[in-house]
Structure 1
């Protein structure tokens, strides 16, 4: 598996798609395609609070779509830099069908179809 490629299990597909289902997270990811930046600058660029941005960055990081690195500025101030992770996601019906075979049932939340319980 090359850099930026994931093992696309059903659970991984659900996690990535759920993470990308937020307009805020899409904007954050798009902003990071221009290069790495620190939280305060990114919040200013996007016109959202740092607190809200942190929530979205944590979800993007958990899903493996961004990475973070803490660095010290010249004046000794700690800055957390984020950057987009290189990835490629190509969805086809066959890819989805293969991923579905690996779905776990934990947290599914779907009701058991009538007559199957």
Structure 2
């Protein structure tokens, strides 16, 4: 049975994904999580970033559906949030971009303008 290609992303989704990946720190985070899932403190040490800044970047990646976070209890009872890369595939062609552009909502337009400030 042939594999069905994923549906083309909406304009809002594509903007969120491209915006999330348009930062070198977030690209490094995704690259580190491809190797293995990790918890915030260990990931912060691995990529040399403070936890608050890392957490902000992880939230952005999670909102775009690129990473998934799960809260787990350690043996000592401490709650730890682990992150891993979510499976994703985006094909960028002029046609995909044209279809996505036709579906951009006003709220996505406003969000992009606010984030640019």
TM over 0.5: yes
* Structure 1: gaps of 5 or more residues: 110-117
Q: How much is the aligned-residue C-alpha RMSD, in angstroms? A: 1.8
If you compute each CA radius of gyration, which structure gives the higher value, 1 or 2? 1
- C-alpha change, 1:7 and 1:97, in structure 2 (3 Å) is closer
The residue number in structure 2 matching 1:15 is 16
Q: TM-score, normalised by structure 2?
A: 0.84
Please state how far the C-alpha of 1:70 moved relative to its aligned partner: 0.6
* Structure 2: gaps of 5 or more residues: 111-117
The residue number in structure 2 matching 1:98 is 99
The structure 1 segments of at least 4 consecutive aligned residues displaced by more than 2 Å after TM superposition are: 105-109
Of Structure 1 and Structure 2, the greater helix share is in 2
- C-alpha change, 1:33 and 1:97, in structure 2 (3 Å) is same
Please state how far the C-alpha of 1:108 moved relative to its aligned partner: 2.6
Q: TM-score, normalised by structure 1?
A: 0.84
- How many residue pairs get matched? 107
- How is 1:47-86 mapped onto 2 (pairs within 5 angstroms)? 47-86=48-87
